[in-house]
């Protein structure tokens, strides 16, 4: 069986692709490096991370992007012996504007090397490619109209090499995330609708012509969770189809698992896979809902060996001038404050379970009040917790939508830890619990959303992280070394289930 989510934790907007016997999933990474995370499978059940495609500033510059800006909805395709990756970099999404640049890179192998980015039209986001049978490639994207009172304007299509764009579908209900497939003489257009929250869903339309008109499946959405708050997988939508070697069909899509019905999603938006049946010429998911257990294709099981720790870095790529990895040891040169958007020194990994633990030993001597080092439970620049060694001793600070609070002070410690216990977050030092229970749900997509007087101030698209954070606000060269770093999932707090 396929057990959903196949990619737990922050892995939204999946683009799935099969090349021969290999399946690839590309997902959004927003303000985190490496950009566009790719996973690999040979049976749709077991997945391994191949890391990120966009590893340096030649391919991606995230300096200064807002929280939940950066990489939005990548699209991975294969044609003419090349992998094609289309991605958008969102510099601003507020005040009725979407400042986005779309890019295309190609490579002969999923491992690269990837070409220099080619800039594509940026009239909207969620750009994707369709490679037609005659060899012509087309660019799809949703159109964003920034005039007051406008916004989502539909889906457009244009030849990749140039030519006038054509609107092939008018906006229905926040229509975005387009993908086109040609099957048995029909062009099928799959789109996401309803927004990426609890009204989310995926709709399929079809036409005999690539340029439309497209008619929707009379049965309604291909799948959605909007009508049933009791479903384990909520927010189901933004799908992408794939056909197996044996002719079976599946759809990869994003979903989320709130801790309470329609509550906050600390794990962010995750990737799930559903089986697809063709009924009367339409691709459909049984019952129109996303489920946790799905029959796997009749492919030989292909588990992968245990993976090494995989880190992400915030807004700047990992480079030797500020971070080095030596086995289980990570040395970090301090960077900007928590609210700086250019050069923070945060090395982190996704939270993948509602109950999990993270700990590390740290060697650090703060040289001034401008320096600190420790561990963090982090969502974005405005919502985080940081247990740090400072000149004032050990300090646990939280930021709640930008308002800082000191929750605990104590003597310095060498071993720092934290535990997520559903909606509760606890920290520890040298194996002893800190007597403070914190609200873990402030590290959620829903809490990160800030809309004031109808104007978007911030979106929450990323999910929670745990990691290693060093600050050196005066740029005086402060460094910290972390070792014996452990992340594990828990059945009950204190009971190890498995290490990732």
User: What tokens were used for 259?
Assistant: 């801790």
User: What tokens were used for 285?
Assistant: 């998911």
In sequence order, what are the beta bridge partners of 354? none
Residue 151: other Cβ atoms inside 10 A: 14
Which pTM does this prediction carry? 0.96
What sign results for the dihedral spanned by CA atoms 325, 329, 332, 337? positive
- Can you tell me the distance from the alpha carbon of 210 to that of 228, in angstroms, rounded to the nearest whole number? 34
Class of domain 312-499: mainly beta
Between the alpha carbon of residue 37 and those of residues 57, 75, 359, the distances in Å are 16, 11, 24
CB 428 within 8 A of CB 416: yes
- Can you tell me the distance from the alpha carbon of 136 to that of 80, in angstroms, rounded to the nearest whole number? 11
**Distance between alpha carbon 113 and the CA centroid of its chain, in Å?**
23
Is 392 among the catalytic positions?
A: no
Is 445 among the catalytic positions?
A: no
Catalytic option among 13, 31, 75, 193: 13
Which residues, in sequence order, are CB contacts of 249 under 8 Å at separation 6+? 241, 242, 243, 275, 276, 277, 278, 283
Q: Token match 């339409």: residue?
A: 282
Catalytic option among 43, 67, 176, 419: 176
The pLDDT of residue 497 is: 41
Which of 48, 38, 43, 46 is closest to 16 using CA atoms?
38
The answer to whether domain 2-294 and domain 312-499 are alike in fold is no
User: What tokens were used for 174?
Assistant: 């926040």
Q: What angle is formed at CA 269 by the lines to CA 266 and CA 275, rounded to 5 degrees?
A: 135
User: What tokens were used for 417?
Assistant: 């830890």
Q: E-assigned strands of 208-335?
A: 215-216, 223-224, 234-243, 249-256, 269-279, 282-284, 293-294, 312-314, 323-326, 329-333
Query: What backbone torsions phi and psi does residue 50 show, to the nearest 5 degrees?
Result: -100, 10
Which of 479, 397, 395, 478 is closest to 429 using CA atoms?
395
Q: Give the burial class of 241: count Cβ atoms within 10 A of its Cβ; 0-12 exposed, 13-18 middle, 19 or more buried.
A: buried
Superfamily of domain 2-294: Glycosyl hydrolase domain; family 43 (2.115.10.20)
The pLDDT of residue 457 is: 83
In sequence order, what are the beta bridge partners of 276? 249
User: What tokens were used for 152?
Assistant: 């989502």
pLDDT tens string 290-327: 999 999 999 999 999 988 879 999 999 999 999 999 98
Sort strands 383-390 and 424-429 into parallel, antiparallel or unpaired. Answer: unpaired
In sequence order, what are the beta bridge partners of 388? 374, 395
CB 290 within 8 A of CB 6: no
In order along its 500 residues, the chain shows pLDDT tens digits of 999 999 999 999 999 999 999 999 999 999 999 999 999 999 999 999 999 999 999 999 999 999 999 999 999 999 999 999 999 999 999 889 999 999 999 999 999 999 999 999 889 999 999 999 999 999 999 999 999 989 999 999 999 988 899 999 999 999 999 999 999 999 999 999 999 999 999 999 999 999 999 999 999 999 999 999 999 999 999 999 999 999 999 999 999 999 899 999 999 999 999 999 999 999 999 999 999 999 999 999 999 998 887 999 999 999 999 999 998 899 999 999 999 999 999 999 999 999 999 999 999 999 999 999 999 999 999 999 999 999 999 999 999 999 999 999 999 999 999 999 999 999 999 999 999 999 999 999 999 999 888 778 889 999 999 999 999 999 999 999 999 999 999 975 444 444 44
For the chain, domain boundaries: 2-294, 312-499
End-to-end, the C-alpha distance of the chain in Å comes to: 21
């Amino acid at each position: 069986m396929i057990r959903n989510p196949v990619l737990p934790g922050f892995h939204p907007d999946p683009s799935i692709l099969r090349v021969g016997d290999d399946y690839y999933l590309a997902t959004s990474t927003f303000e985190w490096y490496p950009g566009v995370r790719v996973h690999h499978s040979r049976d749709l059940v077991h997945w391994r991370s191949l890391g990120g495609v966009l590893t340096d500033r030649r391919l991606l510059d995230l300096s200064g992007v807002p929280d939940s800006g950066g990489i939005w909805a990548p699209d991975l395709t294969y044609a003419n012996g090349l992998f094609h990756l289309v991605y958008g970099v969102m510099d601003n999404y507020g005040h009725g504007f979407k400042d986005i640049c779309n890019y295309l890179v190609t490579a002969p192998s999923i491992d690269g090397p990837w070409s220099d980015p080619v800039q594509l039209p940026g009239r909207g986001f969620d750009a994707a490619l369709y490679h037609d049978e005659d060899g012509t490639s087309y660019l799809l994207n949703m159109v964003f109209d920034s005039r007051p009172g406008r916004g989502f304007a539909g889906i457009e299509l244009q030849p990749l090499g140039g030519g006038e764009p054509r609107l092939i579908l008018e906006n229905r209900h926040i229509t975005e995330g387009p993908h086109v497939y040609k099957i048995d003489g029909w062009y099928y257009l799959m789109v996401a609708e309803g927004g990426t929250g609890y009204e989310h869903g995926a709709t399929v339309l079809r036409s005999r012509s690539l340029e439309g008109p497209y008619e929707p499946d009379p049965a309604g959405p291909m799948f959605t969770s909007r009508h049933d708050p009791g479903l384990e997988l909520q927010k189901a939508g933004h799908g992408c189809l794939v056909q197996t070697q044996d002719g079976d069909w599946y759809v990869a899509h994003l979903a989320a698992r709130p801790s309470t019905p329609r509550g906050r999603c600390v794990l962010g938006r995750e990737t799930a896979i559903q089986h697809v049946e063709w009924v009367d010429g339409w691709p459909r998911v049984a019952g129109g809902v996303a489920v946790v257990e799905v029959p796997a294709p009749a492919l030989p099981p292909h588990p992968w060996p245990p993976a090494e720790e995989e880190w992400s870095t915030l807004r700047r790529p990992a480079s030797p001038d500020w971070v080095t990895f030596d086995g289980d040891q990570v040395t970090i040169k301090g960077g900007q404050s928590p609210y700086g958007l250019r050069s923070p020194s945060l090395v982190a990994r996704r939270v993948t379970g509602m109950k999990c633990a993270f700990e590390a030993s740290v060697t650090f001597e703060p040289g001034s009040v401008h320096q600190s080092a420790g561990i963090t439970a982090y969502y974005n620049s405005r919502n985080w917790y940081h247990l740090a060694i400072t000149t004032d001793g050990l300090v646990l600070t939280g930021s709640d939508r930008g308002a800082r609070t000191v929750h605990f002070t104590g003597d310095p410690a060498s071993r720092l830890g934290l535990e997520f216990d559903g909606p509760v977050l606890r920290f520890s030092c040298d194996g002893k619990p800190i007597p403070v229970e914190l609200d873990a749900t402030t590290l959620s997509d829903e809490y990160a959303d800030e809309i004031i007087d109808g104007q978007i101030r911030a979106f929450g698209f990323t999910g929670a992280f745990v990691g290693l954070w060093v600050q050196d606000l005066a740029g005086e060269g402060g460094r910290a070394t972390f070792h014996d770093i452990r992340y594990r999932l828990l059945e009950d707090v204190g009971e190890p289930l498995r290490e990732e």
